[in-house]
Every structure is written in C-alpha cells, then in structure tokens.
C-alpha cells in the first residue's frame, strides 16, 4: 500500500538502482530477496525522500550479501 499518499490495493514497490532506461509500461521480472521495511506513513515527501536514501543503502548491502547466489542464477 502507499500509506503516505493514499490507501488502496496491496503493492510491492520496486526501486531499480542505477537504471537509466525508460521502462514505463515494460514487463520486468523481479526476484524478491528481503523486505526493507514495513509500510510507514511519512509526515512529508521530504521525509519519505530521506528514508528512500536509507533504503537504497540498505538494498545495496543486501544485494552485496546475495551477490554469489544471484550470479549463480
């Protein structure tokens, strides 16, 4: 869900690190490794942006931990 902006259907939000292509409308396959955090309602968009920066660093660490398993396919 998106508790900061609206309530609604259950979603899994995916943030692509270092991706520059316009993938809007494209189909992609996502491998779930670990949940970064639960749903949180942020007081402002700025607070959400700060948390996203923290989430990105945590995601990079998780990817590093799983690197060998990911490359093995």
CA angle 24, 73, 64 (to 5 degrees): 80
pLDDT at 6: 63
C-alpha 9/C-alpha 25 separation (Å) is: 19
> Do 56 and 50 touch, CB atoms closer than 8 A?
no
> Do 39 and 6 touch, CB atoms closer than 8 A?
no
pTM of the model: 0.67
pLDDT at 2: 57
pLDDT over 70 at 60, yes or no: yes
pLDDT at 73: 60
> Do 11 and 21 touch, CB atoms closer than 8 A?
no
pLDDT at 11: 73
Selected residue with higher pLDDT from 6 and 22: 22
pLDDT at 69: 74
pLDDT at 70: 72
């Amino acid at each position: 869900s998106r508790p900061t902006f609206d309530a609604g259907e259950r979603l899994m939000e995916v943030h692509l690190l270092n991706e520059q292509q316009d993938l809007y409308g494209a189909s992609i396959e996502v491998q779930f490794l670990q949940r970064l955090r639960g749903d949180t309602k942020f007081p402002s968009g700025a607070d959400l942006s700060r948390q996203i920066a923290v989430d990105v660093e945590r995601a990079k660490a998780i990817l590093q931990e799983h690197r060998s398993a990911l490359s093995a396919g």
